[in-house]
């Protein structure tokens, strides 16, 4: 400030300081006046400070004098808390500038004064504790006295060098470390620790801020061990929160508490401090090893002086164990909901790992686990901070790199060894925590393998050794397999209701994801997902050295079909995914990566061996106890018991000896699901090199799709999509079409007498459905093989049923191809226009009047042309002429040219399957009828009508079949024939079909009338009753009597169509059905039928069309 501004400030403050000095002796009368003056003084000082004004030494002394007079002239207990708070707040503002001029004695006195008010004050016979606001003001004043300043805060009126701030700060530091000041500092620390445990958040924050400043600068390395136990205990308690509080401690409070603990630990047991005391040595070269061997640089232990603690090896060991327990108690903070607290835990772990690797080696795994857990945090700031810390600690420039890498590798081994013990305990949170740590360790290797291949090479090689020949997988692998029990999920969430429905609709909307295999001992989905990522990350980190473990696990899985075989295939698949850098849990195909010959060679052999699993019978697998299990007995058993106390099993009371559990039927399904995942991964690894394996792999995949178990069916479909994408096919249909011969050969091999598998027919049917219209190219081979098998196995209903369904599917595919349909000539009778009624009536009246006229009997004068002059018969010109064989051959060739190969194939199918219309199986009869219905649009009349004519008696018999679905199929065939060859079916329907339809309707009416559930009475019995047989067989969509059902709509359309053919007969039936009285057609009357509304609708539509 300038002199003018200084005088202006002095005049304003003088108006307050003078009356304040006059009333320095506090009495009940002057206390309100003093409060008002102090409030005014504090506000003006704050205003000047905010405006950037600085106070000169003389002005500071002038203001401080009335404030100190208040403190000197009154007993501390007589000063009200509010007055003390305002005094300390004013001093805090003054200390911002006074720090630059203050002498040591004044600084020490002010420090002692403020620290006294932070703690308790002993009065006459009783203690008095200041309120939180007064303590906070005192602590704020201490912060202004002790914080380190830079030259940017130097007052403008003070001319000094660039190191002036450091000089002043060093002067205060030296003074605080004197023997005289150490007790003051100790009492201050004790008071601050007490106030830091206050329920006031503001007091906690300021106390911890001051504690951090004191430990960072003022507490010496010799004095730190003295206060270390109390500080660590108090800070741990503050960070974890009060036991009585409901919830977590404030994130900022946790951060400050951990920073204080960090400074106290490093100054007490840091590597640099203990090296000076010769308690630990850092071995970096051979000279260090020689010094350790010869005991060089040993110092003599001298007893501590004053308040200091002597550092000895026994003290270090005891302190190390206590600190380990204290740090373990901080484990819940890893789950703190605030990012500030998590970053503080990360900073504490990083600093202690870097500064106490020699003195606190037992805490390294714990601290590393904190960083690894935090690197997976949902907060980006926390995860990036933790990950960067791990990268920095393991960089070549770090002194703790080798020790930390060894710790991380040891953690992987310990966690894998502990999984067999933890998994059966159903501790999902612990399993997820440990698996996440392994995943985080492997992520360090994976993410830095491209940038710095040598940085984590030791860790990568260590993982490779663990899963290699010398890693002892034969020991820990069996223990892990024994506890990893899988089960089929109760519900599978997929994009379609069923796999076969997906095949019919095409693969465009399907995601190639496998159904999950659920671990029995892991209830949380996140925990199981973390386990999967852990093994995948281990394979990625270990690289090709883990192929030994993959081969070992898959070998176990191939030889067993129990729970351990499933677990072995699952583990091998996860490791192989990691090695190859792929995953079966994503829908999109992974980018093509360059892989080594070793991986390709191992994967090629693995894919062939996995595909051969479907070639081996279940009896060829080893029983559950036939494989070596030397180390399974080492696994502790867990038993969860609820309810009454169970007697010891050794007493054998009640149940007697326990029997081994029966093998579970779900294990083969799980085994196939896991094998399909392995097969898919090998396809993703090999890409186009997987094509030779398709000869063995396609049938197992297709066989899985037809499984009645939905999860296995979905797994097969996912495998088919992944394989098709891996070998560069646009869709599974293209894959199967290109390799159709492979599939057909595999099916035929399983339909031989040496090996007869009914499921092979279902596989062939599935392929035809999936390939769709393109299967027409291969239809001839399929049909030929089907008829060969029909001739061979015609006595086996289940095989005949399957082969007929295959033929039916071929015909359906041909039917769906519009190009294969026959273009038929329209019946000439259909286009004859019916004359209107009035014209026909006029002609009838004219004929009726003139029917007896004489001119009608006159000789017919129609000219018929010239009459022959010789007898009827052969003429001389043609009598001896023989028919030309060339003409008949041309006619045959012309008829044959009109039949396409597809039509010829369809004709062959129809002609050779009509004989199955009399098969004893109703299902086969219905399928043959459906086959004939589908063939009608395809075959020309010359090929169709011959077979239909021959089979017509059998078709009519099917209309009287005992099974309703056979009757339905027969009616469908009659419908197809009526639509496409109406002229052929006209007389047959009228003479043969309709009488059988009438019998069916009469039987239905009789059944309705005889139903015990039908309502009796006038206008009640019949199809109007909701309890009749008709309504139980054919669901009615309309509940209201006036509603228009589908059946009623179809009936109206039928009568309208009949009216177009014969309007008079249609009117006669409708009118007399609803009429009353006696008439020649009274037999048509149905009083219980209410069809008047629909009859009027039919007549209206007929009238509109001019009928």
Same structural domain, 959 and 1079: no
Do 671 and 753 sit in the same domain of this protein? Answer: no
* Cβ neighbour number for residue 16 with a 10 Å cutoff: 21
- Give the model confidence (pLDDT) of 553-574 as tens digits: 999 999 988 889 999 999 999 9
Looking at residues 977-991, what average pLDDT do you find? 83
Grade residue 53 by pLDDT with cuts at 50, 70 and 90: confident
One domain, residues 681 and 745: no
Examine the pLDDT at 338 and tell me if it is beyond 70. Answer: yes
Residue 908 confidence (pLDDT) above 80: yes
| Tokens read off for 971 | 């009616």
Confidence at 277, pLDDT banded by 50, 70, 90: confident
Which pLDDT does position 501 carry in this prediction? Answer: 44
List the alpha helices (DSSP H) in 1010-1062: 1029-1033, 1046-1061
The answer to whether 560 and 627 are in contact (CB under 8 A) is yes
pLDDT at 628: 44
Return the higher-pLDDT residue of 773 and 203: 203
Residue 1036 lies in a domain: no
Looking at the structure, tell me whether residues 464 and 571 fall in a common domain: yes
* Residue 243 confidence (pLDDT) above 70: no
Cα 115 to Cα 137: distance, rounded to the nearest angstrom: 11
| Residue 1028: pLDDT over 60 | no
* pLDDT at 740 > cutoff 70: yes
Predicted confidence at residue 641, as pLDDT, reads 57
Whole-number average pLDDT of the chain = 80
Q: From CA 432, how far away is CA 440, in angstroms rounded?
A: 12
958 and 1054 assigned to the same domain: no
How many Å is the maximal CA-CA distance in the chain? Answer: 169
Question: Could you give the CA distance from residue 580 to residue 578 in angstroms, rounded to a whole number?
Answer: 5
- Clarify whether residues 678 and 744 are in a common domain: no
Same domain, yes or no: 773 and 702:
no
Residue 710 lies in a domain: yes
1012, pLDDT greater than 80: no
Judge whether 973 and 929 are in contact, CB under 8 Å: yes
Clarify whether residues 714 and 780 are in a common domain: no
Tokens of 668: 């083969």
Q: Tens digits of per-residue pLDDT, 745-756?
A: 888 888 888 888
Average pLDDT over residues 650-654: 53
Average pLDDT over residues 502-516: 59
Q: Is residue 642 part of a domain?
A: no
33 belongs to a structural domain: no
Residue 644: band (very low, low, confident or very high) from pLDDT cuts 50, 70, 90: low
Question: Domain for residue 111, yes or no?
Answer: no
The answer to whether position 1047 is within a domain reads yes
Q: Mark whether 478 and 407 lie in a shared domain.
A: yes
| H/E segment holding residue 91 | helix 81-98
- Let me know if 878 is exposed, middle or buried by CB neighbors in 10 A (0-12, 13-18, 19+): exposed
Q: Are 685 and 678 in contact (CB under 8 A)?
A: no
Do residues 49 and 59 lie in contact, with contact meaning Cβ atoms separated by under 8 Å? no
DSSP 152: G
Domain end point (choices 925, 950, 980): 980
Higher pLDDT, 203 or 822: 203
* Residue 1040 pLDDT grade (very low, low, confident, very high; cuts 50, 70, 90): very low
> Which two structure tokens, joined as six digits, stand for 741?
């011969």
The answer to whether residues 505 and 418 belong to one domain is yes
Backbone angles phi, psi at 1010, to 5 degrees: -95, 0
Q: What pLDDT sits at residue 269? A: 93
Residue with more model confidence, 263 or 818: 263
The pLDDT, as a whole number, for residue 1060 is 78
| Domain boundary, last residue among 726, 760, 775 | 726
Q: For residues 65-88, give the mean pLDDT.
A: 89
Q: Which domain holds residue 1068?
A: 1043-1107
pLDDT of 621 above 50:
no
> Final residue of a domain: which of 980, 1004, 1029?
980
What is the C-alpha separation between 1069 and 1075, in angstroms, rounded? 10
Q: Between the CA of residue 178 and those of 108, 223, 310, what are the distances in Å?
A: 12, 11, 18
- Least reliable range by pLDDT among 293-302, 638-647, 939-948: 293-302
CA-CA distance, 936 to 479, in Å (whole number)?
65
* Section 417-437 average pLDDT: 90
Using CA atoms, how far apart are residues 886 and 963, in angstroms rounded to an integer?
A: 52
Q: What is the CATH number for 952?
A: 1.25.10.10
Higher-scoring residue by pLDDT: 156, 185: 185
SS3 labels along 692-718:
HHHHHHHHHHHHHHCCCCHHHHHHHHH
CB 26 within 8 A of CB 79: yes
Query: Taking Cα atoms as reference points, which of 830, 827, 833, 788 lies closest to residue 806?
Result: 788
pLDDT exceeds 50 at position 810: yes
Q: How confident is the model at residue 454 (pLDDT cuts 50, 70, 90)?
A: low
- Could you tell me what percentage of the chain is helix, strand and coil, using 3-state DSSP and rounding each to the nearest 5? 65, 0, 30
**pLDDT tens digit sequence for 960-982:** 888 888 888 888 888 888 888 87
Quickly list DSSP for 304-352: --TT-----HHHHHHHHHHHHHHHHTTGGGGG-SSHHHHHHHHHHHHHH
Q: What pLDDT does residue 332 have?
A: 92
- Residues 547, 487, single domain; the answer is yes
pLDDT band for 1039, please (50, 70, 90 cuts). Answer: very low
Q: Is the pLDDT of residue 929 over 70?
A: yes
Whether the Cβ atoms of residue 96 and residue 163 lie closer than 8 Å to each other: no
Tell which residue, 995, 1104, 1095, 1094, has the closest CA to residue 1060: 1104
pLDDT over 70 at 600, yes or no = yes
| Tokens 């409708």, located at residue | 1070
Same domain, 971 and 1047: no
Would residue 546 count as lying in a domain? yes
Q: How confident is the model at residue 900 (pLDDT cuts 50, 70, 90)?
A: confident
pLDDT at 1088 over 90: no
pLDDT reported for residue 1011 = 61
Select, from the ranges 270-284, 815-829, 894-908, the one with the highest average predicted confidence (pLDDT): 270-284
Number of domains in the chain: 3
* Percentage of the chain modeled with pLDDT above 70: 76
Tell me: pLDDT of 790 over 90: no
Cβ partners under 8 Å of residue 904, min gap 6: none
Task: Classify residue 708: in a domain, yes or no.
Answer: yes
* Residues whose CB is less than 8 angstroms from the CB of residue 621 and which lie 6 or more positions away in sequence, other chains included: 559, 560, 561, 565
Q: Is pLDDT of 299 > 80?
A: no
């Amino acid at each position: 400030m300038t002199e003018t501004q200084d005088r202006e400030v002095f005049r304003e403050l003088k108006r307050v300081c003078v009356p304040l000095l006059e009333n320095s002796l506090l009495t009940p009368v002057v206390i309100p006046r003093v409060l008002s003056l102090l409030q005014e003084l504090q506000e003006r000082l704050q205003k000047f400070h905010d405006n950037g004004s600085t106070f000169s030494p003389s002005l500071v002394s002038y203001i401080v004098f009335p404030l100190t007079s208040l403190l000197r002239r009154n007993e501390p207990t007589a000063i009200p808390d509010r007055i003390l708070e305002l005094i300390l707040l004013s001093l805090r503002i003054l200390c911002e500038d006074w720090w630059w001029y203050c002498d040591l004695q004044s600084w020490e006195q002010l420090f002692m004064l403020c620290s006294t008010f932070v703690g308790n004050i002993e009065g006459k016979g009783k203690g008095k504790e200041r309120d939180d606001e007064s303590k906070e003001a005192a602590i704020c004043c201490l912060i202004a006295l002790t914080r380190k300043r830079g030259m940017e805060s130097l007052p403008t009126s003070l001319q000094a060098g660039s190191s002036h701030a450091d000089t002043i700060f060093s002067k205060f530091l030296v003074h605080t470390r004197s023997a005289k000041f150490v007790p003051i500092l100790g009492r201050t620390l004790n008071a601050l620790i007490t106030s830091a445990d206050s329920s006031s958040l503001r007091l906690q924050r300021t106390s911890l801020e001051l504690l951090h400043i004191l430990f960072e600068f003022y507490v010496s390395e010799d004095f730190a061990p003295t206060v270390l136990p109390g500080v660590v205990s108090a800070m741990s308690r503050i960070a974890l929160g009060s036991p009585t509080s409901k919830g977590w401690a404030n994130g900022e409070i946790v951060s400050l508490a951990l920073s204080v603990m960090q400074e106290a630990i490093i100054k007490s047991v840091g590597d640099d401090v203990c090296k000076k005391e010769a308690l630990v040595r850092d071995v970096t070269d051979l000279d260090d090893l020689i010094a350790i061997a010869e005991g060089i640089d040993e110092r003599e232990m001298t007893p501590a002086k004053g308040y200091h603690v002597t550092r000895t090896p026994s003290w270090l060991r005891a302190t190390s164990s206590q600190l380990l327990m204290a740090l373990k108690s901080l484990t819940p903070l890893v789950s703190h909901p605030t990012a500030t607290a998590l970053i503080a835990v990360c900073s504490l772990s990083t600093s202690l790992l870097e500064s106490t690797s020699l003195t606190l080696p037992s805490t390294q795994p714990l601290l590393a686990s904190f960083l690894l857990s935090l690197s997976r945090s949902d907060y980006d700031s926390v995860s990036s901070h933790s990950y960067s810390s791990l990268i920095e600690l393991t960089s070549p420039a770090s002194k703790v790199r080798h020790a930390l890498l060894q710790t991380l590798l040891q953690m992987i081994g310990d966690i894998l060894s502990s999984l067999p013990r933890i998994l059966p305990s159903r501790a999902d949170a612990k399993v997820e925590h440990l698996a996440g740590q392994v995943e985080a360790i492997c992520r360090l290797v994976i993410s830095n393998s491209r940038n710095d291949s040598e940085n984590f090479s030791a860790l990568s090689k260590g993982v490779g050794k663990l899963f290699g020949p010398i890693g002892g997988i034969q020991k820990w692998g069996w223990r892990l397999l024994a506890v990893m029990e899988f089960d089929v999920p109760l519900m599978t969430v997929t994009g379609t209701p069923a796999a076969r429905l997906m095949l019919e609709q095409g693969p465009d909307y399907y995601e190639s994801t496998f159904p999950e295999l659920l671990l029995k001992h892991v209830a949380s989905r996140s925990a199981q997902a973390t386990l999967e990522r852990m093994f995948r990350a281990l394979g990625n980190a270990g690289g090709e050295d883990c192929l030994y473990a993959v081969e070992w696990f898959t070998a176990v899985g191939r030889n067993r079909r129990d729970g351990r075989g499933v677990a072995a295939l699952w583990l091998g698949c996860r490791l192989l995914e990691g090695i190859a850098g792929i995953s079966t849990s994503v829908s999109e195909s992974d980018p093509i990566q360059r892989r080594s010959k070793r991986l390709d060679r191992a994967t090629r052999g693995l894919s062939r061996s996995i595909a051969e699993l479907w070639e081996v019978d279940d009896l060829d697998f080893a029983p559950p106890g036939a494989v070596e299990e030397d180390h399974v007995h080492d696994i502790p058993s867990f038993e969860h018991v609820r309810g009454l106390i169970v007697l010891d099993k050794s007493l054998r009371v009640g149940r007697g000896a326990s029997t081994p559990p029966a093998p579970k039927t779900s294990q083969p399904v799980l085994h196939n699901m896991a094998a399909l995942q392995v097969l898919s991964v090998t396809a993703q690894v090999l890409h186009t090199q997987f094509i030779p394996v398709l000869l063995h792999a396609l049938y197992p995949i297709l066989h899985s799709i037809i499984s009645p178990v939905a999860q296995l069916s979905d797994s097969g479909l996912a495998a088919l999509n992944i394989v098709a994408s891996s070998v560069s096919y646009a869709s599974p249909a293209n894959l199967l079409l290109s390799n159709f011969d492979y599939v057909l050969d595999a099916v035929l091999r399983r339909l031989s007498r040496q090996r007869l598998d009914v499921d092979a027919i279902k596989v062939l049917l599935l392929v035809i459905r999936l390939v769709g219209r393109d299967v027409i190219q291969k239809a001839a081979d399929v049909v030929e093989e089907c008829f060969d098998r029909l001739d061979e196995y015609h006595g086996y209903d289940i095989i005949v049923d399957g082969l007929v369904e295959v033929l039916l599917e071929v015909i359906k595919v041909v039917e769906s191809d519009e190009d294969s349909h026959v273009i038929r000539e329209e019946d000439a009778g259909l286009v004859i226009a019916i004359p209107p009624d009035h014209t026909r009536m006029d002609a009838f009246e004219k004929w009726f009047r003139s029917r007896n006229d004489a001119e009608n009997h006159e000789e017919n004068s129609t000219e018929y042309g010239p009459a022959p002059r010789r007898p009827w018969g052969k003429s001389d010109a043609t009598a001896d002429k023989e028919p030309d064989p060339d003409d008949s051959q041309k006619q045959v060739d012309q008829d044959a040219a009109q039949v396409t190969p597809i039509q010829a194939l369809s004709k062959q199918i129809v002609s050779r399957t009509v004989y199955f219309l009399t098969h004893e199986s109703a299902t086969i009869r219905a399928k043959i009828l459906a086959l004939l219905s589908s063939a009608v649009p395809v075959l020309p009349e010359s090929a169709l009508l011959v077979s239909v004519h021959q089979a017509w008696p059998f078709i009519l018999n099917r209309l009287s079949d005992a099974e309703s679905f056979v009757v339905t199929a027969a009616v469908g065939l009659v419908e197809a024939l009526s639509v496409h060859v109406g002229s052929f079916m006209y007389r047959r329907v009228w003479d043969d079909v309709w009488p059988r339809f009438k019998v069916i309707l009469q039987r239905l009416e009789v059944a309705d009338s005889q139903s015990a559930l039908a309502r009796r009475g006038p206008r009640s019995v019949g199809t109007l009753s909701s309890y009749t047989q008709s309504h139980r067989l054919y669901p009615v969509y309309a509940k209201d009597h006036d509603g228009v059902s589908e059946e009623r709509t179809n009936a109206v359309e039928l009568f309208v169509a009949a009216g177009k053919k014969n309007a008079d007969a249609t009117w006669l039936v409708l009118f007399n059905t609803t009429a009353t009285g006696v008439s020649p057609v009274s037999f048509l009357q149905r009083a219980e039928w209410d069809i008047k509304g629909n009859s009027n609708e039919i007549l209206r539509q007929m009238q509109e069309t001019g009928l």
